[in-house]
C-alpha cells in the first residue's frame, strides 16, 4: 500500500528537518491562534476558563490514544483496533468494579492497562511475529475485539447508577485543582515525550520507521520494536477505556465505536508522516487541540453540530495538503543544496 | 522476474481453490446445522443483504490492486443517498435526484483522485479525511431527519425480484457489474495497467502507462459504484438516514483482501473477490440461522481475515526453519500463561454482573 519511499534524513539535511518540524508547528499554532481570535470576536465566551477546561476535558482521552497511534504510525504501521480495545477494556473494568464493590477503585487503572497490554500484545504478535500487514491485522482485530464486547456482556450495559460513586472521581475528581483526566493526559504526554526522545527503544521506533533495512544492519531488533509499539498502544487504550467509562459513567457495547479515525486524524493534522519515520509529541498534542477547538467553536458560533464532521474532514484534508507542499519544497531545497 | 510472476500466479489459483473448498465446507456444515439453509428462496433472499458490499467491492479490487486504499466509500454512499433523499423531500422527481446524486459522486471521486494522483498524497490519509468530510456533508443535508416515501418504481431497485423467480433485482445488477469489472481487469489494457501500477508505479510511469489518469479513473469509479450501492441500500430500507451504511468500508476491504487481492498491490483476481463475497455471505447466513448475534459473527469474519494471511505464512515458516531453542520455548510458555490468565479473568469477571 505504501507507494512512495519516505525521505531519509542524511546528516546535512537533518538541520533542515528540524527547521521544518519547527515551522510546521508554528503553522498549527498560527492556525489555532487565528481560529481563536475569529471565534472570540463572535462569542467572547470562548476565552473563558470554563470553556478552556471543557476543551481540555474533551481532548484528553483523544490525545492519550493519538500518542499511541503516533508511535505505531512512526513504525509505518496503523492500529485500527484502538476503538474496540477501548470499548472492551471499558466493559471488562466496569463489570469488575461494579461486581466487586469492596475493591479499591484506583485499582481499575492498572487493571485496565494490564488488560489493554494483553490485547495490544496479541496485535503485536500477529504483526511482528506473524508478519501480517498492520492494516489487515488491526482491521481484523477491530471486528474481533468489538465482537468480544458483545459476547462478554451479552449486550448488557453498565449504567451510571450501578457504578460505585468513587469510580466517577477517577476521571472527574479534582484533588489537585484540575480534573484527574487532564492530569492523566499530561502524564502520558510527558512519558511518551521522554520515551521517544531519551530511551533507546524510543529512538529505535524512528529508526525502524524511516529505514527498516538500515535499522536491521544497525543491529536494531525490529520485531521487538514493532511488538512494543502495539503493546504500548494496547496499554494506553486500556487506560483510555477506564477513563472513558469513568468520565461518561457508562460502559456500552458501542463505546468508542469509530474512534480510531479521530486518533489517526490528530497525528496527521499534527504533521506525523503517514509513511512513517517522522513525527513528534508536540505536533500530535497541537493536532488534537486543534480538532478539539474546531468542535468547540462550531457550537459557540452556532453552526449546526451536524457540520462538525464535515469541518473536521476538511481540516484533515487541508492539513495533509499543506504538509505535502512543505515537504516537497523542502525536498527541492535540499537537493539544490547538495548540488 | 518471470519466475516470480509464475509462482505468484500459481499461488493465486491455489487461493481460489481454497476459497471454493471453504465455501463447500461451510455450505455443508450449514445444511447439517439447519434444515432452512438449502432452501432456494431463502438463499436468494439473503443475497440481497450483500449486494451493496459486492457492488463496492468490485472497484475496491482495482483500488487495492494499484496499491491504494479507499476508506471513503461508505461515506460517499451516505452522501449520495442523503443528497438523493434530500432532493426528493424537496419535491424533485426521484430519478432526477438519482442523476444529480450520481454526478455528485463523480465529483467526490474526482476530489479523492486529484489529491491522490495529482498531488501524490497517501490514499490512506486522503480518504480518512474525505471519510469524515463526505459523511459530514450527509449529516449537514439531512440532520436528524430521514428521507422516506420513495415511489415503488425506486424501491424495486432494492426490494424487487425478477417476476416469480425470486431472483433479487440487485443480484442481477451486481452480476452484470461483476462481469464488466472482471473483463476490465483481466482482458483489457486498462486492467494490465492496474497491475503494472500496483507492482511498480515508477517503472510503469517510465514505460508510458498513464498512471495519474488511471488512478483518477479508479477513484471516480469507486465513488460512482458507492453511490449506486447507496441507491440500492436506500431502496432496500425504503428510507435514507444520514448514517446509512456507516462502517461498510471495513467489510468491503475485508472481503477484497480475503479474496486474495494483495494489500500491497500488484496481484488479485475478480473471481477470488467474488468467491470471498460468497464465502462471507453464506458464513453469515449460516451463523444467523443458528442465532449468533451480528457482532459475534464479526469475530469469525475477523478471524478468517487474519488467519487467511497468517496460516499460509506459518506453513511456509514451519517447513523452512523451525528452531526450538530455549528462548522460543520460554516465550511460547509466557504467551500461553498470559492468554490463560486473561481467559480466566474474562469468563470470571463477566459472571460478576451477568450471574446476579
The answer to whether A140 contacts B305, with C-beta atoms less than 8 Å apart, is yes
The answer to whether A132 contacts B122, with C-beta atoms less than 8 Å apart, is no
Query: What does the radius of gyration of chain B's CA atoms come to, in whole angstroms?
Result: 22
Calculate mean pLDDT across residues A51-64.
Answer: 91
Residue of B nearest to A272 (CA): B125
Residue of A nearest to B314 (CA): A130
Model confidence at B137: pLDDT above 70: yes
Model confidence at A17: pLDDT above 80: no
The answer to whether A313 contacts B293, with C-beta atoms less than 8 Å apart, is no
Model confidence at A297: pLDDT above 70: yes
Residues of chain A positioned with their CB less than 8 A from the CB of B342: 115, 118
List pLDDT tens digits, range A249-264.
889 988 888 888 889 8
Model confidence at A189: pLDDT above 70: yes
For an interface test with B, give the residue of A73, A124, A153, A306 to mutate (most B CBs within 10 A).
A306
> In B38-159, where does DSSP find H-type helix?
40-47, 51-65, 73-89, 94-113, 123-142, 152-159
Model confidence at B1: pLDDT above 50: no
The answer to whether A312 contacts B295, with C-beta atoms less than 8 Å apart, is no
Distance (Å) from the C-alpha of residue B163 to the closest C-alpha of chain A? 38
Distance (Å) from the C-alpha of residue B294 to the closest C-alpha of chain A? 8
List pLDDT tens digits, range A156-165.
888 888 888 8
Give the 3-state secondary structure of residue B161: strand
Residue of B nearest to A258 (CA): B247
The answer to whether B140 contacts A133, with C-beta atoms less than 8 Å apart, is no
The answer to whether A313 contacts B254, with C-beta atoms less than 8 Å apart, is no
List pLDDT tens digits, range B256-275.
999 989 888 888 999 999 99
List pLDDT tens digits, range B48-58.
889 999 999 99
Residues of chain B positioned with their CB less than 8 A from the CB of A306: 136, 139-140, 143-144, 242
The residue among A31, A145, A131 whose CA lies nearest residue A77 is A131
Q: What are phi and psi of B35, to 5 degrees?
A: -70, -10
Calculate ∠ Cα A152-A154-A155, nearest 5°: 110
The three cell numbers locating residue A220: 536494531
Calculate mean pLDDT across residues B201-217.
Answer: 94
For an interface test with B, give the residue of A310, A323, A324 to mutate (most B CBs within 10 A).
A310
Long-range contacts formed by A334-338: CB under 8 A, 24+ apart: A334/A12, A334/A13, A334/A16, A337/A12, A338/A12
Question: pLDDT value at position B117?
Answer: 94
In total, the C-beta contacts within 8 angstroms joining chain A to chain B are 196
Question: pLDDT value at position B7?
Answer: 47
Q: Scan residues 193-232 of B and list those with Cβ closer than 8 Å to A.
A: 201
Question: pLDDT value at position A338?
Answer: 53
Calculate mean pLDDT across residues A81-96.
Answer: 95
For an interface test with B, give the residue of A81, A143, A224 to mutate (most B CBs within 10 A).
A143
DSSP A211-237: -HHHHHHTT--HHHHHHHHHHHHHHHH
Residues of chain B positioned with their CB less than 8 A from the CB of A275: 122
Distance (Å) from the C-alpha of residue B165 to the closest C-alpha of chain A? 36
Residues of chain B positioned with their CB less than 8 A from the CB of A130: 309-310, 313-314
> In A43-107, where does DSSP find H-type helix?
49-74, 82-99
The answer to whether A140 contacts B128, with C-beta atoms less than 8 Å apart, is no
Question: pLDDT value at position B2?
Answer: 42
**B123 backbone φψ class: left, alpha, beta (φ>0; ψ -120 to 50):** alpha
Query: What does the radius of gyration of chain A's CA atoms come to, in whole angstroms?
Result: 20
Domains of chain A by range and CATH? 14-34+46-330 (1.10.3470)
Residue of B nearest to A307 (CA): B140
CB A295 within 8 A of CB A308: yes
Residue of A nearest to B117 (CA): A3
List pLDDT tens digits, range A210-249.
888 898 898 889 999 999 999 999 999 999 999 999 999 8
Neighbours of B68 (CB within 10 A): 27
The answer to whether A310 contacts B67, with C-beta atoms less than 8 Å apart, is no
Across chain B, mean pLDDT equals 89
Whether B336 contacts chain A with CB within 8 A: no
CB A115 within 8 A of CB A242: no
Residues of chain A positioned with their CB less than 8 A from the CB of B201: 3
The residue among A113, A148, A103 whose CA lies nearest residue A243 is A113
Distance (Å) from the C-alpha of residue B39 to the closest C-alpha of chain A? 29
List pLDDT tens digits, range B152-200.
999 998 888 887 788 899 999 999 999 999 999 999 999 999 999 999 9
Residue of A nearest to B264 (CA): A1
Residues of chain A positioned with their CB less than 8 A from the CB of B350: 92, 95, 152-153
* Grid cell 458490499 in the structure block, residue: B53
Stated length of chain B: 356
Q: Scan residues 288-307 of B and list those with Cβ closer than 8 Å to A.
A: 293, 295-299, 301-303, 305-306
> Would you place residue B328 in the very low, low, confident or very high pLDDT band (cuts 50, 70, 90)?
confident
Residue of B nearest to A311 (CA): B133
Give the 3-state secondary structure of residue A172: helix
Q: Which residue from A80, A136, A309 is facing B139, i.e. has the nearest CB?
A: A309
Residue A124 CA to residue A157 CA, distance in Å, equals 29
SS (H, E, C) B115-139: HHHHCCCCHHHHHHHHHHHHHHHHH
The answer to whether A147 contacts B143, with C-beta atoms less than 8 Å apart, is no
> Would you place residue A337 in the very low, low, confident or very high pLDDT band (cuts 50, 70, 90)?
low
* Grid cell 499461488 in the structure block, residue: B11
Percent of chain B scored above 90 by pLDDT?
60
Residue A329 CA to residue B312 CA, distance in Å, equals 44
Model confidence at B4: pLDDT above 70: no
Distance (Å) from the C-alpha of residue B34 to the closest C-alpha of chain A? 22
Amino acid at each position: 500500500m505504501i507507494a512512495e519511499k519516505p525521505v531519509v534524513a542524511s546528516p546535512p539535511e537533518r538541520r533542515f528537518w528540524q527547521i521544518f518540524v519547527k515551522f510546521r508547528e508554528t503553522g498549527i499554532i498560527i492556525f489555532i491562534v487565528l481560529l481563536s481570535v475569529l471565534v472570540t470576536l463572535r462569542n467572547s465566551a470562548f476565552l473563558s476558563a470554563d470553556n478552556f477546561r471543557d476543551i481540555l476535558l474533551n481532548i484528553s482521552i483523544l490525545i492519550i490514544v493519538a500518542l499511541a497511534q503516533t508511535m505505531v504510525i512512526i513504525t509505518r504501521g496503523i492500529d485500527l483496533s484502538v476503538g474496540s480495545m477501548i470499548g472492551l477494556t471499558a466493559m471488562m473494568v466496569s463489570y469488575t468494579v461494579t461486581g466487586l464493590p469492596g475493591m479499591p477503585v484506583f485499582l481499575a487503572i492498572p487493571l485496565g492497562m494490564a488488560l489493554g497490554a494483553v490485547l495490544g500484545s496479541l496485535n503485536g504478535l500477529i504483526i511482528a511475529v506473524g508478519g501480517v500487514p498492520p492494516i489487515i491485522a488491526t482491521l481484523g482485530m477491530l471486528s474481533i475485539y468489538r465482537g468480544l464486547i458483545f459476547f462478554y456482556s451479552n449486550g448488557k450495559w453498565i449504567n451510571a447508577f450501578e457504578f460505585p460513586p468513587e469510580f466517577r472521581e477517577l476521571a472527574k475528581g479534582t484533588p489537585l485543582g484540575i480534573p484527574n483526566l487532564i492530569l492523566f493526559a499530561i502524564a502520558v504526554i510527558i512519558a511518551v515525550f521522554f520515551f521517544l526522545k531519551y530511551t533507546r527503544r524510543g529512538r529505535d521506533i524512528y529508526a525502524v520507521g524511516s529505514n527498516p533495512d538500515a535499522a536491521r544492519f544497525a543491529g536494531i531488533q525490529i520485531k521487538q520494536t514493532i511488538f512494543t509499539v502495539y503493546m504500548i498502544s494496547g496499554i494506553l487504550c486500556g487506560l483510555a477505556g477506564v477513563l472513558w467509562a469513568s468520565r461518561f459513567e457508562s460502559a456500552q457495547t458501542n463505546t468508542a465505536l469509530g474512534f480510531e479515525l479521530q486518533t489517526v486524524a490528530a497525528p496527521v493534522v499534527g504533521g506525523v508522516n503517514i509513511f512513517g519515520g517522522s513525527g513528534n509529541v508536540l505536533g500530535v498534542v497541537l493536532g488534537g487541540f486543534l480538532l478539539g477547538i474546531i468542535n468547540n467553536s462550531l457550537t459557540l458560533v452556532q453552526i449546526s453540530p451536524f457540520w462538525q464532521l464535515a469541518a473536521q474532514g476538511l481540516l484533515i484534508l487541508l492539513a495533509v495538503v499543506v504538509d505535502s507542499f512543505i515537504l516537497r519544497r523542502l525536498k527541492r531545497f535540499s537537493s539544490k543544496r547538495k548540488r | 522476474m518471470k519466475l516470480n510472476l509464475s509462482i505468484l500466479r500459481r499461488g493465486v489459483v491455489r487461493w481460489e481453490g481454497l476459497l471454493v473448498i471453504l465455501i463447500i465446507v461451510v455450505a455443508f456444515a450449514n445444511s447439517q446445522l439447519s434444515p432452512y439453509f438449502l432452501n432456494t428462496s431463502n438463499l436468494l433472499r439473503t443475497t440481497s443483504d450483500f449486494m451493496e458490499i459486492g457492488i463496492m467491492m468490485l472497484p475496491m479490487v482495482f483500488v487495492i490492486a494499484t496499491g491504494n486504499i479507499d476508506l471513503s466509500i461508505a461515506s460517499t454512499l451516505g452522501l449520495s443517498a442523503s443528497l438523493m433523499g434530500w432532493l426528493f423531500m424537496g419535491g424533485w422527481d426521484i430519478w432526477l435526484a438519482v442523476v444529480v446524486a450520481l454526478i455528485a459522486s463523480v465529483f467526490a471521486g474526482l476530489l479523492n483522485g486529484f489529491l491522490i494522483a495529482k498531488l501524490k498524497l497517501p490514499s490512506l490519509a486522503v480518504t480518512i479525511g474525505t471519510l469524515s468530510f463526505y459523511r459530514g456533508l450527509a449529516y449537514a443535508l439531512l440532520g436528524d431527519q430521514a428521507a422516506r416515501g420513495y415511489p415503488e418504481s425506486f424501491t424495486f431497485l432494492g426490494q424487487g425480484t425478477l417476476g416469480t423467480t425470486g431472483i433479487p433485482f440487485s443480484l442481477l445488477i451486481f452480476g452484470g457489474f461483476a462481469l464488466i469489472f472482471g473483463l476490465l481487469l483481466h482482458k483489457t489494457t486498462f486492467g494490465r495497467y492496474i497491475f503494472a501500477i500496483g507492482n511498480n508505479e515508477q517503472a510503469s510511469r517510465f514505460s508510458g502507462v498513464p498512471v495519474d489518469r488511471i488512478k483518477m479513473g479508479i477513484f471516480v469509479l469507486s465513488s460512482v459504484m458507492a453511490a449506486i450501492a447507496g441507491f440500492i441500500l436506500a431502496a432496500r430500507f425504503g428510507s435514507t438516514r444520514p448514517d446509512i451504511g456507516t462502517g461498510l468500508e471495513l467489510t468491503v476491504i475485508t472481503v477484497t483482501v480475503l479474496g486474495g487481492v494483495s494489500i500491497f498491490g500488484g496481484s488479485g483476481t475478480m473471481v477470488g473477490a467474488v468467491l470471498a463475497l460468497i464465502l462471507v455471505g453464506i458464513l453469515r447466513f449460516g451463523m444467523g440461522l443458528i442465532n449468533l448475534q451480528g457482532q459475534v459473527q464479526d469475530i469469525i469474519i475477523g478471524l478468517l481475515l487474519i488467519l487467511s494471511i497468517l496460516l499460509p505464512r506459518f506453513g511456509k515458516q514451519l517447513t523452512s526453519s523451525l528452531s526450538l531453542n530455549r528462548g522460543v520455548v520460554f516465550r511460547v510458555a509466557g504467551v500461553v500463561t498470559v492468554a490463560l490468565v486473561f481467559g480466566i479473568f474474562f469468563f470470571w469477571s463477566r459472571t460478576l454482573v451477568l450471574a446476579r
